[in-house]
Amino acid sequence: MKAFGKILGLGLLGLLLIIVALGFALTHLFDPNDYKDEIRQLARDKAHVELTLNGDIGWSLFPWLGLELHEASIATLNNPQAPFADLQMLGLSVRVLPLLRREVQMSDVRVEGLNLVLNRDENGHGNWEDIGKPLPAKNADGTPAAPEAGTAQAPGQQESAKERAVKLDIDSLTVNNARVQYTDARSGQSLSAESIQLSAGAVHEGTNIPVKMTAFFTLGQPSLRTRTELNGELRFDRRLKRYNFEDMRLAGEASGEPLAGKTMTFAAQGQLLVDLAANVAEWNGLKISANQLRALGELNVRDLDKAPQLSGGLSIAQFDLRAFLDSIGHPLPATADPAALGKVEMVSRLQGTSNSLALEDLAVKVDDSTFSGRVAIEDFARQALRVQLKGDRFDADRYLLAKSEEAKGATAARQAEVKQQEASAVAAPSSTPLPTAPTQVAWSTDKLLPVDRLRQLDLQADLSFGALTLTKLPITDASLKAQGQGGLITLETLRGGLYNGTFEAHGNLDVRPAVPQVGVTTAIKRVPVEHFIKTDDATQTPPVKGLLTLSSALTATGNSQKALIDTLNGNASFIINDGVLVNANLEQQLCQAIATLNRKQLSGEPRGKDTPFQELKGSLVIRNGVASNPDLKARIPGLAVTGEGDLDLRVLGMDYRVGVEVEGDKREMPDPACQVNERYVGVALPLRCRGPLELGAKACRLDQEGLGKVAAKVAGNRLNEKLNEKIDEKLGDKVSPELKDALKGLFKR
């Protein structure tokens, strides 16, 4: 028995030596390079690809079945002259004995210089779709033959069978200097990944696989280039169709046309999960950064096999939006407040599809303002924007476009003109010449609206503010609703409280024509008028105060302040109650007129600088920036005022003729020169008001020409008085009172 065992052992040893010798002979005496044609044919018949072997083939047999290819390329059978992949070297080895158990145990896999070219033609067909497909069989007449029934197996069934049959086990995977290029003939778009370096640790199903990859990506239109580095641990289960990428970290830099020559540094990390069985994907522990921007959150996608639905949350830490946009090549235009948009932060819940995105339960802080509500893009293709926000306070003036140097110069020139005339008017308002009409344009020619963007806008906005500052007006409980589509933007309503009064506006903006067209109606009730007419010069006092009630309907065309004012047309009516003409003692000027008619001098000093009034009202007809006011009326204690004139809104100038009926000095000790007797009854003393609108009543002077006509009328009244006295003296009680009155009336006529 011992001898038999010894013989058996020697036999097995001899068999092993024979196998080793055979393997040595096969690998050293058999050269696979002599069988390249047979290998190519085998690739056509079994793998249905066109294999080109320009380099040498190296191989080993036992205990590893090793293969090394140099200068090889692969093409589809229907286009063998256009390889979709080529490589400089592929080296791999498979353990022989596990293959008998249908297990693939590989050592290191190395790929050098892989070049993968993917193309989609004008019909949308990709060259990769023909990989592994045999050429269609043909009949004797050359027509395609019908496939045999029952011979084909569904791709999903084939894939499942392979996944059940083959167990993958690789010690490591290395890809050096690979390149992937994709082009789409229909869209003209191209994308390439170059200098790809990929290394992976031991690849075992169900265990974490360390992965590291670097690459340079280039997008064709618009030109964009990024450098990226990816790290993490990959785990997959093909049976459950679950793929995890844990501790994923992506970082890099981007530059190109979309960034206008600037560079953006970006990073992202988190835990990724894709479950194809449940058709869900998750990104938990999300952290994103892009230059100054920092964000945290999580994303979930369901219904991957149908219409994907996005949900999750996002939190953006406070950052300088203006600096961020400038750093990525999209600087914002200068605003009235250079510090505007310097502090922005946001928290929101996300909902979306492949063509929409909504920020639900949105809480956002912009500088000193806080907003809550919803912002959504309902259709990316149409740029359909939907906004529903409620804010605590918002100063819109801070975010208006800053004035250009030209506009600042024009404003300064006009202010200088006004100050010059104001100085002389205040020094001696009764004796100085009438101020001349202003000549300096009061409005900017700077562009107001981004017309091209507005033409593409699809907007529905519903905004409300606890406090809104607009053109320096503090609006409380403000509400704004607007919509826009196809270049027509409609302001459904803008209303709120204003200095204990109210206002409301409606209008539309039509940017479909080459020149924008604007229409607006307003209703203002009992709002202090001085807040509408105050200027940028804090030292300048508004010329009039009082509670304004205004209704107007106006139209204009253009895309600058000047163009809109030059084409302003419409109608308006106004009433100012309980007001004051500031720094304008109108009664004193009229007493001066009476003293002139009485041929006397005023003995007293002016009693005050201002002229109070109970009511000032009228209507305006506006044509091309000039407002005609034919029916100005004012009720002033002791005075009855009527007038007519024009307001030239283009230069903010006025030209009025005013008639004032006076009762005279009603004090207990009146100025004798300002006493009114019966001959002044019904006589309107004339004033002429001309000059910058900011001067108000300070620009009014006695109308010397009109005063001469009044003097003639007063003289006539005095003659009538004397005739009446003669009638009373001559007739006495000889005739009836009715006859005497008739005679007096005859002389008046």
Predicted confidence (pLDDT) per residue in 389-444, tens digit: 999 999 999 998 887 777 777 677 777 777 766 666 654 455 567 788 888 887 88
CA atoms of 59 and 149, how far apart (whole Å) = 40
Number of domains in the chain: 3
pTM for this predicted structure: 0.75
Over 70: is that where the pLDDT of 383 sits? Answer: yes
In a domain, 103, yes or no: yes
pLDDT given for residue 227 in this prediction:
95
Q: Is residue 534 part of a domain?
A: yes
Give dist(CA 287, CA 315) in Å, integer. Answer: 10
pLDDT at 497 over 50: yes
What integer pLDDT is reported at residue 614 of this predicted model? 87
**What's the confidence (pLDDT) of residue 401?**
82
My answer on whether 647 and 726 are in the same domain is no
Position with higher pLDDT, 607 vs 378:
378
Q: Which tokens hold the place of 587? A: 């009664």
Going from the C-alpha of 639 to that of each of 193, 291, 673, the distances in angstroms are 87, 70, 17
pLDDT band (50, 70, 90) for residue 304: very high
Residues 694 and 628 in one domain: yes
pLDDT in tens, 149-176: 444 444 444 444 444 445 667 888 899 9
pLDDT (tens digit per residue) in 70-80: 888 888 888 88
Beta bridge partners of 176: 112
> What confidence score (pLDDT) does residue 46 get?
73
Q: Is 50 exceeded by the pLDDT of residue 5?
A: no
* 467 in a structural domain: no
Residues 670 and 565 reside in one and the same domain: yes
CA nearest neighbour of 191 among 210, 218, 169? 218
The confidence score (pLDDT) of residue 51 equals 82
**pLDDT of amino acid 35:** 64
- Note the helical H segments in 637-703: none
pLDDT at 459: 93
Residue 314 maps to a domain: no
Least confident segment among 16-25, 380-389, 458-467, 469-478: 16-25
Do 572 and 697 sit in the same domain of this protein? Answer: yes
- Establish if 400 belongs to a structural domain: no
What are the residues facing 49 on neighbouring strands? 76
Q: What is the pLDDT of residue 446?
A: 86
What pLDDT score was predicted for residue 723?
45
Range of the domain at 67: 22-133+165-204
How confident is the model over 645-694, as pLDDT tens digits? Answer: 999 999 888 999 888 776 544 544 455 555 555 555 556 777 888 888 87
Range scoring the smallest mean pLDDT among 4-13, 21-30, 501-510, 539-548: 4-13
d(CA 11, CA 1): 15
Taking CA atoms, 365 is separated from 292, 324, 341, 473, 686, in Å, by 17, 16, 10, 22, 58
The closest of 355, 353, 357 to 308, measured between CA atoms, is: 353
Q: Examine the domain organization and report whether 739 and 594 are in the same domain.
A: no
Summarize the confidence of residues 509-538 as an average pLDDT.
87
587 and 733 in a common domain: no
67-71, 347-351, 457-461, 601-605: least confidently modelled range: 601-605
Question: Is 40 or 356 the better-scoring residue by pLDDT?
Answer: 356
Do 692 and 591 share a domain, yes or no? yes
- Which residue has better confidence, 579 or 364? 364
Question: Of the ranges 153-162, 487-496, 614-623, which one carries the lowest mean pLDDT score?
Answer: 153-162
pLDDT at 162: 43
Angstrom CA distances, 508 to 322, 481, 492, 502, 559, stand at 30, 12, 8, 21, 14
| Distances, alpha carbon 594 to alpha carbons 603, 623, 686, 688, in Å | 13, 37, 11, 16
How far apart are alpha carbons 278 and 274 in whole angstroms?
9
The verdict on 606 and 740 lying in the same domain is no
Residues 627 and 739 in one domain: no
Note whether 743 and 683 are same-domain residues.
no
- Check whether residue 741 and residue 693 sit in a common domain: no
Rounded CA gap, 600 and 620, in Å? 39
What's the rounded mean pLDDT across residues 615-622? Answer: 93
Kindly tell me the burial class for residue 577, based on how many C-beta atoms sit within 10 Å of its own C-beta (0-12, 13-18, 19 or more): middle
- With respect to residue 500, please indicate whether it lies within any of the assigned structural domains: no
Would 219 be classed as within a structural domain? Answer: no
Confidence of residue 322 (pLDDT cuts 50, 70, 90): very high
Residue 466 · residue 477 · CB < 8 Å: yes
Average pLDDT, the chain: 80
- Condensed to tens digits (0 to 9), the pLDDT of residues 215-253 reads 999 988 888 999 999 999 999 988 899 999 999 999 999
Residue 663 shares a structural domain with residue 723: no
Q: Confirm whether 594 is domain-assigned.
A: yes
